[in-house]
Structure 1
Amino acid sequence: LSTVPAPRAAAILAWLSPEERERVLRLLSEGVARELRDLLAYPPNTAGALMDPRVFTVRETETATAALERLRDAPGEVREIYAIDDEHRLVGVVPLHRLALASREDRIASIVDPAPGMITSTVTREELVEYLARTGLPSIAVVDTEGTLIGVLRHAALVGAAEEEALIDLQRMVGASVDERALSPIGFAVKKRLPWLNINLLTAFLAAAVVGLFESTIATVSALAVMLPVVAGQSGNSGAQALAVTMRGLALREVRGSQWRRLVFKEAMVGAINGFAIAIVAGLGVLVWSRSVGLAVVMAISMVLAMATANFAGASIPILLKRFGQDPAQSASIFLTTVTDIVGFFVFLGLATLAIQML
């Protein structure tokens, strides 16, 4: 723990119970223990918890010679040099080459550049991911509410935050708890997953009820039962693609304000065009298999309508959940599955009922 970066050490300690954590901290040197306690005091998944408090700083009134002497004596690798004022507030960043080429009596204030990035310690991981995507900076200075420099967030921590955010969204989309790990106890995993599986069971019964409405049609043309999974499966996959793109747009703040209308329209059009292409192949396949032109036409039309609707739902559902203050990653996939199954079954069987004489 004394040799690894402070954010990593704090992350390791965070997994321990409070008693174990305190016992380990007492075994460390006073300086390292104080750094780790400060990091652990910040709320989880914030810039304060992820930052490295070990920052090399120079005062703006300091001479270049004095700064270079301290830099030579600095332990470990110095990746960035931050300039601060007498109140320890961040002034800017000092490029290493400029410091090396400065005259002996040049003041730091004369060679400092504005800090390219600066965030407060309370910024959340989701906001960090957005910031990383927007700026692409290798490091970001972390300050408190008064502008005092308290640490630095480096690229590895930012990428780790982005990966963790993506993994959390992935687990939530399929109804798994963000607290669950690969080797979590069986009882814990069951407790976290079962509620969402029960909700999914309810939505499956809703889709089954739609099929029940067309029982007489299926009894007349049994081939319809064979085709149902094809329509539902294709629309579900198409909707999942739209959902993934929309979730990414929401996570990275690519979709703002009135742009949601443009996104939903785009996804609906993509679904319709893809549906038309798939409809040609599916229609020909059904025609060869069943030798029924009517069934092939019903399949083709159903595919276009179902996939366009699925894409519309895949883009709309997470936006609506976000609008009503809900986490889109938590339940969007379950709502999408319900919509794609119900719409796919209803459109296909409804058209088949209308064209029953042609089948």
Structure 2
Amino acid sequence: MATADTIQTHNPLEILNRAFLLDFPKDAARRIETMSAAEAIESIGEQPVHILERLWSNLAPGVADALLKELPDKTAAELLMALDAGPAATLISRLDEQKQQLLFSLMEASVVWELKEMLSYPENAAGRLMDTHIIAFNENISVEDALNQLRNQQIEALHHLYLLDDDMHLHGQVDIQRLALASGRQKLASLSLPVLTFVQALDPKDEVVEKVKKFHLDTIPVIDANAHLLGIIHGSSLMDTLQEDIASDMQTMVGVSKDERALSSAWFAVKKRQPWLQINLLTAFMAAAVVGMFEDTIAKYTALAILLPIAAGQSGNTGAQALAVTMRGLTLREITIRHWLRVTMKEAGAAVINGIAIAITCGLGVLLWSHSYGLALIIALAMISSMTLAAIAGALVPIILKRMGQDPALSSSIILTTVTDIAGFMSFLGIAAALSWMLDAGM
């Protein structure tokens, strides 16, 4: 227990104030949280760093951030060095870039390195998506005090308030409308609702997407390994990130590097694209080899060469549609690899129905053009078979890549194009060879 003898001051009120802060930091933090920033700084601004460190360790997010900005820069830097690395990194992450650099310049190099390490998260981690500018309150303060703090900090667009227990662990949440209608003397704990879900800072982005979708959340809290609130992820920022990922996936699906930008140099683009163009050329030769197998048939019935692009084009479009839907399902965790049969059957069924509709339209068009029932039947049957095979391939390619531990977005389009070209050519020319007697008979 601190006593007046151990505190170097002669002012009785200052002695009591310092003793209270030193011996009862949690109670002091609750009292500070009810004050305006100016009042709080007046009470604690002259305290030594070792006392401020105990106080800041118990202040709720939002209050701690606001008061840190009011401290002299040298005192703030010393306080951050005195705090544990985790809480210190969380505090400094809520400051603007200019303020961060100023405080870093006042700290020891080893501490700066440690804090910067704590501030960095893996590329696809939840920590990369979170907003650290948050406000939370201890569950034992009153509604009136909470509303006063919200007014003092001028918080806008707030849907609910996160609550912490005395050990600073995330413990509940209060809907802002319920808070506004409650009696001023009520404790926040009496209004508390359980937090439906949360993520840790190092959880993968896919898990964040899955939880936001499952619980229909507009925000999701992010905690550290000790259940301390670090920040929140907004649904809007998550959607923006997903859109960027989809754009990036569109590039990788066709063999373009994620690093390439519209204004990248030509040489950079060549280095990134050339390997995949060579692979694409190899697959094109494979498709050409299929056509070569039916060289005699094409030479005998030249109309087949005219209709080849139709067969390949329709199968390619069908495969691309199935690929897009399956990729979206895998990305948003709507499906997993265990759903492969269900997804494949669904895409095959849709392709058969679409194939029949396209076969009727295409068959009638070819009949009017060629006056050949045999050629019309061949193209109609080819539409159904090639579109069905392409849809199955479009569903299976990303699932197989996922099962092999590969990124399903990585050049799926190139693989699928090869499959659909071969399926289209093989179906059309194979059926033509089998039904060549109809063409010979002039049917």
TM-score by shorter chain over 0.5: yes
Structure with greater Cα Rg: 2
Q: For 1:322 and 1:185, how far apart are their aligned partners in 2? A: 32
Tell whether 2:196 aligns with 1:116: yes
**Number of the residue aligned with 1:243:** 323
Say if 1:95 and 1:357 are closer, same or farther in 2 by CA, change over 3 A. closer
Give, as a single letter, the amino acid of the residue that structure 2 aligns with 1:200.
N
Q: Report deviation, 1:218.
A: 0.9
Q: Report deviation, 1:25.
A: 4.9
SS of equivalent residue, structure 1 residue 200: helix
Q: Report deviation, 1:27.
A: 7.8
**Number of the residue aligned with 1:11:** none
Contact 2:337–2:403 under 8 Å retained in 1: no
Tell whether 2:223 aligns with 1:150: no
**Number of the residue aligned with 1:8:** none
Say if 1:356 and 1:76 are closer, same or farther in 2 by CA, change over 3 A. same
**Number of the residue aligned with 2:40:** none
**Number of the residue aligned with 1:46:** 125
Tell whether 2:167 aligns with 1:62: no
Identity among equivalent positions (%) equals: 49
Contact 1:126–1:165 under 8 Å retained in 2: no
Q: For 1:43 and 1:27, how far apart are their aligned partners in 2? A: 21
Contact 1:130–1:251 under 8 Å retained in 2: no
Name the TM-score, length of structure 2 as normaliser.
Answer: 0.71
Q: For 2:192 and 2:117, how far apart are their aligned partners in 1? A: 29
Q: Which protein has greater RCO, CA pairs closer than 8 Å, 6+ apart?
A: 1
Runs of at least 5 residues in structure 1 that lack an aligned partner in the other structure: 1-23
Q: For 1:132 and 1:181, how far apart are their aligned partners in 2? A: 30
**Number of the residue aligned with 1:262:** 342
Contact 1:294–1:355 under 8 Å retained in 2: yes
Give, as a single letter, the amino acid of the residue that structure 2 aligns with 1:66.
D
SS of equivalent residue, structure 1 residue 344: helix
Q: Give the alignment of 1:137-286 within 5 angstroms.
A: 137-256=217-336, 258-286=338-366
Question: What number of residue pairs does the alignment pair up?
Answer: 334
**Number of the residue aligned with 2:210:** 130
**Number of the residue aligned with 1:312:** 392
Q: Deviations over 1:83-130 (max 9, x none)?
A: 111221101112223333444443222121112341111122333333
Q: Deviations over 1:210-242 (max 9, x none)?
A: 111111111111111111111000011011111
Q: For 2:212 and 2:242, how far apart are their aligned partners in 1? A: 8
Q: Report deviation, 1:65.
A: 2.9
Q: Deviations over 1:275-306 (max 9, x none)?
A: 11111111122122222221111111111110
Q: For 2:340 and 2:149, how far apart are their aligned partners in 1? A: 53
Give, as a single letter, the amino acid of the residue that structure 2 aligns with 1:233.
G
Give, as a single letter, the amino acid of the residue that structure 1 aligns with 2:342.
R
**Number of the residue aligned with 2:19:** none
Say if 1:76 and 1:30 are closer, same or farther in 2 by CA, change over 3 A. farther
**Number of the residue aligned with 1:100:** 180
Q: For 2:171 and 2:408, how far apart are their aligned partners in 1? A: 39
SS of equivalent residue, structure 1 residue 81: strand
Greater shift, 104-113 or 276-285, is seen at: 104-113
Greater shift, 95-104 or 52-61, is seen at: 95-104
Tell whether 2:167 aligns with 1:73: no
Runs of at least 5 residues in structure 2 that lack an aligned partner in the other structure: 1-96, 107-111
Q: For 1:344 and 1:28, how far apart are their aligned partners in 2? A: 61
Q: Deviations over 1:3-52 (max 9, x none)?
A: xxxxxxxxxxxxxxxxxxxxx75785539x99x95885122232212211
Contact 2:315–2:423 under 8 Å retained in 1: no
Q: For 2:118 and 2:280, how far apart are their aligned partners in 1? A: 40
Q: Deviations over 1:298-346 (max 9, x none)?
A: 1111111101111111111111111111111112211111111111111
Contact 2:212–2:220 under 8 Å retained in 1: no
**Number of the residue aligned with 2:415:** 335
**Number of the residue aligned with 2:36:** none
Q: For 1:321 and 1:233, how far apart are their aligned partners in 2? A: 24
**Number of the residue aligned with 2:30:** none
Say if 1:298 and 1:98 are closer, same or farther in 2 by CA, change over 3 A. closer
User: Please, which of 333, 352, 357 is the counterpart of residue 432 of structure 2?
Assistant: 352
